Structure 1
Amino acid sequence: MEAIGNAGSAIGILSKDGVVLVGEKKVTSKLLQTSTSTEKMYKIDDHVACAVAGIMSDANILINTARVQAQRYTFSYQEPMPVEQLVQSLCDTKQGYTQFGGLRPFGVSFLFAGWDKNYGFQLYMSDPSGNYGGWKAAAVGANNQAAQSMLKQDYKDDISREEAVQLALKVLSKTMDSTSLTSEKLELAEIFLSSSGKVKYQVCTPDDLSKMLVKYGVTQPPAEA
């Protein structure tokens, strides 16, 4: 839990037309080469994605496990795996590591976002003990208590996806350790249904993120030269 408390925070918000995940990338040193791949958001299957807080090497193992389970289910039943079933099977793996000596638990918390035909859009949070629960809005990582209480105040039941993005960015800007939010420090991903009714997972580009931050008044527009 200590490792998760020090990791960059991640926020998930469930809206009526999708699920929004926003993560803070911790820039530990300016000498560090920032990776081009996403480090907080991972696609598990076409209909499920997750945001991660904690030890990345532990997360990679669990994400691979989840991807294999999702593919096995699709191969066996010719349909996407229900989101909760996938979360539960991953949490069973996590729980096993808390039960016996000689192993340490996975030091990672997940926010799972997904859609299935049984329950529509869903957001789940799981911790190292293997406990998980369905949430309307949740935060993991650094300052998650402060973020959680802000979400509790500002979340509305019939929130739209755009409002959810705005709320997530606002909460992150108020609870992040660093003073200013920039697109380099953020990752934003959404799960929604496309016009053809297919589930779509979309990661926001840095340019779009910068525009969003200015649009919602989180950062000031760059001064004209």
Structure 2
Amino acid sequence: MSRRYDSRTTIFSPEGRLYQVEYAMEAIGNAGSAIGILSKDGVVLIGEKKVTSKLLQTSTSTEKMYKIDDHVACAVAGIMSDANILINTARVQAQRYTYAYQEPMPVEQLVQSLCDTKQGYTQFGGLRPFGVSFLFAGWDKNYGFQLYMSDPSGNYSGWKAAAIGANNQAAQSMLKQDYKDDITREEAIQLALKVLSKTMDSTSLTSDKLELAEVVLSPSGNVKYQVRSPESLSKLLVKSGLTQPAAEAS
């Protein structure tokens, strides 16, 4: 029945649904998982890498984590070519705001601006929705550390902990059970690793299948975005008891 109504993004079905937007969300459900957790001393983003190869230069390329501005970063699930367009758009908007007002762009204002762009692609004929969801992590002087999730429809919302990508419903349920309001950043990392180990498609959790990024405040009060190295991830996995014996031996 849906075939009559899914040829355009501008056609509503009798139930009031936009099938093209729902198809875009379905594409995200097949992508690698990403989890974001808000703690009292930072925001943690962790993602499952789908492209793993010994030839991949991991020090210069990331699949899931991207820096937008000094105070904002994001994790991605979905079609990466779509994500690159939106990330570049967000970077330009952040720099324009900084140039105009001589201060960093508030995190929610940046997210809302990008979601307005995404919503426009669900509204006009001849376009298709961006097949990508984001987890935005950032800090500003108005609300401190913040975590937002957005989807192809242009909706966004603030979260204490959120998951996107494959098996996101199972991950969300685990986060709901184990999250605490006074969680520290180290505890948030342990929780994220635990949830990802139980929801990702791979049978074993190793450092080459993960990307972990954090948004923190330095002792001087500056916002700092940092991505953990594979060596640091391996130590975290051993500490969490999630590494297989064979991986530890190597």
In the superposition, the TM-score normalised over structure 1's length comes to: 0.95
Residues 143-168 of structure 1 show CA distances to partners (whole Å, capped at 9, x for unaligned) of: 00000000000000000000000000
**Two-structure CA RMSD over aligned residues (Å):** 1.9
How many angstroms apart in 1 are the aligned matches of 2:191 and 2:122?
A: 35
| 2:34–2:45 contact (8 Å) kept in structure 1 | yes
Q: Is the 2:149–2:159 contact (alpha carbons within 8 Å) kept by the matching residues of 1?
A: yes
Go from structure 1 to structure 2 and tell me whether the alpha carbon gap of 1:35 and 1:142 turns closer, same or farther (over 3 Å shift). Answer: farther
Quickly say closer, same or farther: Cα 1:130–1:212, change in 2 above 3 A: same
Counterpart of 1:30 in structure 2 is 54
Q: For residue 26 of structure 1, report the CA deviation from its aligned partner.
A: 1.1
- Residue equivalent to 1:178: 202
User: 1:14 Cα shift?
Assistant: 0.0
Query: 3-state SS of the aligned residue for 2:114?
Result: helix
Contact 1:74 1:80 in 2 (8 A): yes
Superposition deviation, residue 39 in structure 1: 1.0
Unaligned 5+ runs, structure 2 = 1-24
Q: Structure 1 residues 223 and 170 mapped into 2: Cα distance closer, same or farther (>3 Å)? A: closer
Q: 8 Å contact 2:52–2:209 — kept in the other structure? A: no
| Shift in alpha-carbon separation, 1:22–1:96, aligned structure 2, 3 A | same
CA-to-aligned-CA distance 1:102-161 (integer Å, 9 cap, x gap): 100000000000000000000000000000000000000000000000000000000000
- Report the Cα offset of residue 34 of structure 1: 7.0
Normalised by the size of structure 2, how large is the TM-score? 0.86
Q: 1:218 offset after TM fit, Å?
A: 1.2
> Is the Cα contact below 8 Å between 1:109 and 1:125 reproduced in 2?
yes
Measure the CA separation in 2 of the matches of 1:97 and 1:56: 17
Cα separation, partners in 2 of 1:140 and 1:152, compared to 1, 3 Å: same
Residue 87 of structure 2 corresponds to 63
C-alpha distance in 2 between matches for 1:147 and 1:223: 24
CA contact (8 A) 2:48 2:210 kept: yes
Alpha carbons 2:71, 2:223 under 8 Å: kept = yes
* Contact 1:214–1:221 (Cα < 8 Å) also in 2: no
- Deviation per CA, 1:23-79, whole angstroms, max 9, x where unpaired? 000147899887841110000000000000000000000000000000000000000
Q: CA distance change for structure 1 residues 28 and 5 in 2, over 3 Å: closer, same or farther? A: farther
Identity %: 91
Task: Quote the offset at 1:100 in angstroms.
Answer: 1.0
| Corresponding residue for residue 14 of structure 2 | none
Contact 2:43 2:137 in 1 (8 A): yes
Secondary structure at 2:238 match in 1: helix
User: Which runs of structure 2 are paired with 1:50-199 in the superposition (5 Å)?
Assistant: 50-199=74-223
Which ranges of 4 or more aligned residues in structure 1 deviate by more than 3 Å?
27-36, 220-225
> 3-state DSSP class of the match of 2:247?
coil
Separation in 2, partners of 1:176, 1:115: 28
Instruction: Tell me if the contact between 2:66 and 2:74 (Cα under 8 Å) persists in the aligned partners.
Output: yes
Structure-2 change in CA distance of 1:72 and 1:28 (3 Å): same
Residues 238, 248 of structure 2: 8 Å contact kept: no
Assess, with a 3 A threshold, how the Cα gap between structure 1 residues 224 and 154 changes in structure 2: closer, same or farther.
Answer: closer
C-alpha distance in 1, partners of 2:144/2:50?
A: 32
1:2 Cα offset (Å): 1.7
Offset, 1:220: 3.7
1:79–1:96 Cα change, 3 Å: same
SS of equivalent residue, structure 2 residue 56 = coil
Higher deviation after alignment, 157-166 or 20-29: 20-29
Whole-angstrom distance in 2 between the partners of 1:34 and 1:20 = 19
